[in-house]
Structure 1
Amino acid sequence: MRPLDFLGRIKVKLGIVIVLAVATAFVVNEVGINSGLSREVRIAVAVVLALIMVQVLAMGMTKPLREMARAAQTIAKGSYTLRVRATSRDEVGELARAFNAMAADLGEVDRQRRELVANVSHELRTPITGLRAVLENVVDGVSAADPVTMRTALAQTERLGRLVAQLLDLSRLDSGTRPIEAEDVELAPLVEQAVLEASLAREDVVIQAAVPGDLVVRADPDLLAQVLANLLDNAVRHSPPGGSVTVGGSAEGDGVRLVVADSGPGIPAEARARVFERFSRLDAGRAADAGGAGLGLAIVKEIVELHGGSIRIDDCAGCRMVVDLPGRLTVADVPSVPNTGDQQGRVFTPSGTVTGDEAGRMFAPSGDE
């Protein structure tokens, strides 16, 4: 029973308890006098009734605290499902609701931890098993140590190395041990290098880039290069044979916008938030060799948010990743960037250069942004 739950302050409740105790003692004393009871009897009856009144009211006030104490002991044992009944509107009720939110967060963290351990174990076991099988065949004489066999072993080793490197990247970003080393970054050459590296992965996919030569942003160049590399790797990997990938950059308010679009199957609207989770794959049954470990976009999101930016997926044919970063600079702010007539308003593409207006039309969104 919690008769004082409708009150919004614990001080008001305590005041009411004191007033009711005093009123009870006064009424008992008056009734006792009219009934001819002795002073000792009146005092004893008044004390007993006042204590009963205080106990009934205080029990409802302190019950959430006792429930939180029991729930805390349960959480300490690793169970995060117990919740406290939070019906009052006072500070104790606010504490109970905060406790329930904390328990839910702890449960979610524990779930993610268990999934992370399971996913890492699975992802590590797969290349190790493949590498072990190749080496055992060589040792047993089933396979010769020829270049083909060694390339297979090397591929499994490289896959294992990529996974470990991605896990270390996420760990450093989460722990804050990888701070941003911001500097003035020219996006055109950075995108050009990322396009050249991504084009080596598949020869049957065309990559086009259009970034104004005077577009400069204040960011960590290594982390920004990793964002471009991961987005391009994801786009190239999911593009069909003969498909195309486009990379665009433009000024957006006080920041810059990077757009990476591909002609692949796209991402369903209901799965777009999930693709940025760690070890997330749209097709859970797809082999990691074909779909990656599911860490690339999670790393991209961490880096972008570390820079104070945002990333989203737009509605369009295929997949269109949009990254917004703050800290845009002008060419005048960066003395190391030559401000020549040939460079200003030009963009890089593998097949040549186009004007900034043409680049804007090339990468204009198909719908409202």
Structure 2
Amino acid sequence: MTYVALALLIGLIVAALVLARHVRRLRAVLVGFTEGDYRLRLPSSALLGTSVNVLGDRLVELRDSQRSFVADASHQLRNPLVALQLRLENLEPHVRPEGLGKMESALREATRMSLILNALMTMARGEGRADARQPVDVAAVLEDRMASWRPITAVAGVDLLIKPCTGLWATALPAAVDQILDVFIDNALRVSPAGSTIQLFAEATLHQVRLFCRDEGPGMNPADAARACERYWRGTQRRDTDGAGLGLAIAAGLARASDGWIALNPAPASGTDAVLVLRTAQSTVDDREV
């Protein structure tokens, strides 16, 4: 081998090593972006450094804009909601005894909406601080959501059932579990034929609590399930339904703010299992196997 060929070979090896180093750094930054860490940057001299850094700046702008909108909308809705609660409370002396139960249900829903606004504002301030999460009685939340949704599902001819699951406690932002289950149930009802059943139940491992909403609809293909939590995305199988494509995106955000996540899996027979995975109230270990 001549000295020229040897020098050329060494040059190619060095270039390959430098390129591999740049690719590793580029990959690390892009993986960080996909996981929500937009602070990572590349030196401007690196491979695609300037373009990647501009992308990171744009992602930060979009994230901050979304957080500002959520915070502003939640703040603006709070005062009318407080006024509604006061009006409902002032109605009590004028409500007949047989109507008190319905009025109390309306008050509970108004209170729950206040908690939801607080959860959205907490999420907007930074994806949920650890000190904002609280223990949640899973069975109590499931029973409460069943009681609220059963009159609605009954009109559609769909039965809403829960399986007993006492003694399960998870950690989440206040009212986050309620809101995520509302999204799950609403989506399940849209695809459930009359005469079918929607089931709510929960299971626990050492470090996780998993809440399920199982429908008997047509199910989702893997491509739709993978993209279902994207904002404004409504799927390829049913484009004739109402909705803006925001429910699951918001639910996913609340799950992340609660240090959990959601998944959409095929149900054992037919339909879809919408799953919310949270840490148990006692868990300190990150166990992320679904």
State the TM bucket, normalised to the shorter chain: 0.5 to 0.7
* Offset, 1:178: 6.6
Is the aligned partner of 1:252 residue 2:205? yes
Q: Which of 235, 238, 259 is 2:188 aligned to?
A: 235
Is the aligned partner of 1:209 residue 2:218? no
* Offset, 1:249: 0.6
Is the aligned partner of 1:6 residue 2:15? yes
Q: Which of 134, 137, 141 is 1:183 aligned to?
A: 134
Is the aligned partner of 1:293 residue 2:244? yes
Is the aligned partner of 1:173 residue 2:131? no
Structure 2's unaligned 5+ residue stretches are 1-10, 19-41, 67-115, 284-289
TM-score, length basis structure 1: 0.45
Q: Secondary structure at the match of 2:148?
A: helix
Kindly tell me the number of residue pairs found equivalent between the two proteins. 197
- Which sits farther off after the overlay, 199-208 or 167-176? 167-176
Q: Secondary structure at the match of 1:6?
A: helix
- Report if aligned partners of 2:137, 2:170 keep a CA contact under 8 Å in 1: yes
TM-score, length basis structure 2: 0.56
Residue 99 of structure 1 corresponds to 50
Structural mapping, 1:130-145, within 5 Å = none
Residue 225 of structure 2 corresponds to 272
* Offset, 1:170: 6.1
* Offset, 1:104: 4.5
C-alpha separation in 2, matches of 1:304 and 1:329: 18
In percent, how many aligned pairs have the same letter?
25
Larger Rg: 1
* Offset, 1:190: 1.0
Matching residue's letter, 1:252: T
C-alpha separation in 2, matches of 1:325 and 1:300: 13
C-alpha separation in 2, matches of 1:172 and 1:279: 22
Matching residue's letter, 1:194: R
- Report if aligned partners of 2:176, 2:254 keep a CA contact under 8 Å in 1: yes
Q: Secondary structure at the match of 2:202?
A: strand
Change (3 A) 1:209 1:326: same
Is the aligned partner of 1:302 residue 2:250? no
C-alpha separation in 1, matches of 2:206 and 2:118: 34
Matching residue's letter, 1:302: G
C-alpha separation in 2, matches of 1:262 and 1:299: 20
* Offset, 1:99: 3.0
* Offset, 1:227: 1.2
Matching residue's letter, 1:240: P
The alignment's C-alpha RMSD in Å is: 3.9
- Report if aligned partners of 1:195, 1:209 keep a CA contact under 8 Å in 2: yes
Residue 65 of structure 1 corresponds to none
- Report if aligned partners of 2:172, 2:259 keep a CA contact under 8 Å in 1: no
Residue 34 of structure 2 corresponds to none
Q: Residue deviations 1:102-142, cap 9 Å, x none? A: 344567789999xx9xxxxxxxxxxxxxxxxxxxxxxxxxx
Q: Secondary structure at the match of 1:241?
A: coil
Q: Residue deviations 1:27-47, cap 9 Å, x none? A: xxxxxxxxxxxxxxxxxxxxx
C-alpha separation in 1, matches of 2:117 and 2:134: 26
* Offset, 1:315: 2.5
Structural mapping, 1:338-349, within 5 Å = none
- Report if aligned partners of 1:198, 1:236 keep a CA contact under 8 Å in 2: no
